[in-house]
Amino acid sequence: MSHRRKFLKQGAAAMMSLPLLSFDPKKDWSIDSLKYVTDKDDDYWKMVRKQFPLKEGQTYFNNGTMGPTSGYVLDKMFDHIMHWNVEAATVDYKNGSGPELLTGYFPYEELRTKLAKIVNCDFKEISLTQNATFGMNYVGMGLDLKKGDELLNTNQEHGGGFGAWQLLAKRKGCVYKQATMPEPANDPQAIVDAIFKEVTPKTKVIAVPHIISGFGTVMPVKQICAEAKKRGIFTILDGAQCVGHVKVDVKDIGCDAYYSSLHKWLLAPAGSGLLYINKDVVDGIWSTIASYNWDNQDDHGFRLMQNGTGNAGLMAGYDAAVDFFNTIGHDVWIGRIKELGMHLRDGLKEMKHVTIFSSTNEELAAGITTYGVEGMTGPELQKYLWEKERLQPRSVGAKMLRHSVHIYNSKEEIDRALNLISGLA
């Protein structure tokens, strides 16, 4: 027993002395090597790929569901969790350590400021949430809606993208409607027309995706919001697939509210969400969860993120993910996703046995491409790509496969998929 006690004592002392407690001490997860590279060539993207502890010999093409977390972010999370557990007795809550432990009571102004710069707004218009669903519900449940008010979605919502509006319709007697989207959607005006075909004088809310999850269609949201504003209709955009995927400028778009899940394309840890509400309308949104700052009228973003104690280690990872994104650079990051998405679509367009369900208008497309192969179901095609080359996109329907590409992917990996699909002719 004395040997065991000595080992534990020495181990604890060693942990206390480490400046950074790494989840994988065999690797250096620093992003310093990415900071000063001006030529973003193939060698640069190979360096980026090494930032992810993805298993070699396997290729992940399902970022539309969940983005993998970089080693840099995992290190920051692990270090935070271990430090505040090892040093629990030395934490002085009264002298400023509270925000490091109790996430839901503090404004996190620095992180919100970073996010505000990415989406172009004031940090007080930003709330930190768990995910897109939370953002949707905070807005939906906070609106003063009455019996007979009409709420408009599309028929291509993500499974979680209509829940709040259907609940409101049932609870308050509102009328829930869906606009039928063109498929595939290649004409922006046809999308706008499909939405406003369903609008009446009773329409109070238009809640549509910025990017449609199933097909990857980048919606003409600026036109939709502009027309809605003329009619006095509140607009809220589902940006679950957007921040870190395409340019998101909420002021240019002109929406009243916008929510996103940053564990997808910004590659933040699961549970990292963002909600924007325009300062000109936020006074009319009631708090959904009330804590001691539930009626804060100076910082409405903080008011709407009152949720009690949360995971402070997650918040450290969230902040690190934003730093990782900014280190590579907004335009470089998003440009790379677009480049890889086009590479995949250009290859698929050459195959007569392939049907592309996503938009082939590059103005309406980015990193998600959904397609089918003649004679195969979606699950069969997913299984085929995995068994042949360990490639993992996602089946999203009986006949469709959704293929997401991101900065950790390469054109060589996409070409391997294209070669297999070509061989199915």
* pLDDT tens, residue by residue, 297-308: 889 999 999 888
pLDDT at 371: 96
Least confident span in 12-16, 165-169, 201-205: 12-16
Share the mean pLDDT of the chain: 90
- The answer to whether residues 407 and 364 touch, using CB atoms and an 8 Å cutoff, is no
pLDDT at residue 90 greater than cutoff 80? no
**Neighbour count for residue 290 (Cβ, 10 Å):** 12
pLDDT at 103: 80
Q: How confident is the model at residue 4 (pLDDT cuts 50, 70, 90)?
A: very low
> What are residue 237's DSSP bridge partners?
208, 258
* Distance in angstroms (rounded) separating the CA atoms of residues 71 and 120: 28
Crossing angle (nearest 10°) for helices 330-349 and 411-423: 20
Beta carbons within 8 Å of 243's beta carbon, 6+ residues apart: 118, 119, 260, 262, 265, 266, 274
CA atoms within a 13 Å half-sphere pointing along the CA-CB vector of 56: 3
* Distance in angstroms (rounded) separating the CA atoms of residues 112 and 123: 5
Q: β-strand 203-209 against 234-238: which pairing, if any?
A: parallel
Positive/negative CA dihedral, 19, 330, 228, 207: negative
Q: What is the mean pLDDT of residues 45-65?
A: 95
The token pair at 143 is 């609106």
pLDDT at 92: 66
pLDDT at residue 53 greater than cutoff 60? yes
Neighbour-count burial for 251-265, b at 16+ CB within 10 Å, e otherwise? eebbbbbbbbbbbbb
* pLDDT tens, residue by residue, 209-218: 999 999 999 9
**Neighbour count for residue 12 (Cβ, 10 Å):** 11
- The amino acid that residue 346 corresponds to is D
Give the domains, in start order, of the chain with CATH numbers.
98-323 (3.40.640.10), 331-423 (3.90.1150.10)
8-state DSSP, 237: E
Cis preceding-peptide flag for 188 (omega within 30 of 0): no
Q: Tokens 């993500």 map to which residue?
A: 158
* pLDDT tens, residue by residue, 130-146: 999 999 999 999 999 99
Q: How confident is the model at residue 99 (pLDDT cuts 50, 70, 90)?
A: low
- The answer to whether residues 267 and 69 touch, using CB atoms and an 8 Å cutoff, is yes
pLDDT at 102: 75
Q: What is the mean pLDDT of residues 53-71?
A: 95
pLDDT at 97: 60
What is the chain's alpha carbon radius of gyration, rounded to the nearest angstrom? 23
Q: How confident is the model at residue 93 (pLDDT cuts 50, 70, 90)?
A: low
* pLDDT tens, residue by residue, 217-260: 999 999 999 999 999 999 999 999 999 999 999 999 999 999 99
pLDDT at 16: 40
Q: Which of 7-16, 19-28, 79-88, 382-391 has the highest mean pLDDT?
A: 382-391
Q: β-strand 368-373 against 391-392: which pairing, if any?
A: unpaired
pLDDT at 6: 37
pLDDT at 306: 86
* pLDDT tens, residue by residue, 393-420: 999 988 999 999 999 999 999 999 999 9
pLDDT at residue 272 greater than cutoff 90? yes
What percent of the chain is modeled with pLDDT above 70?
93
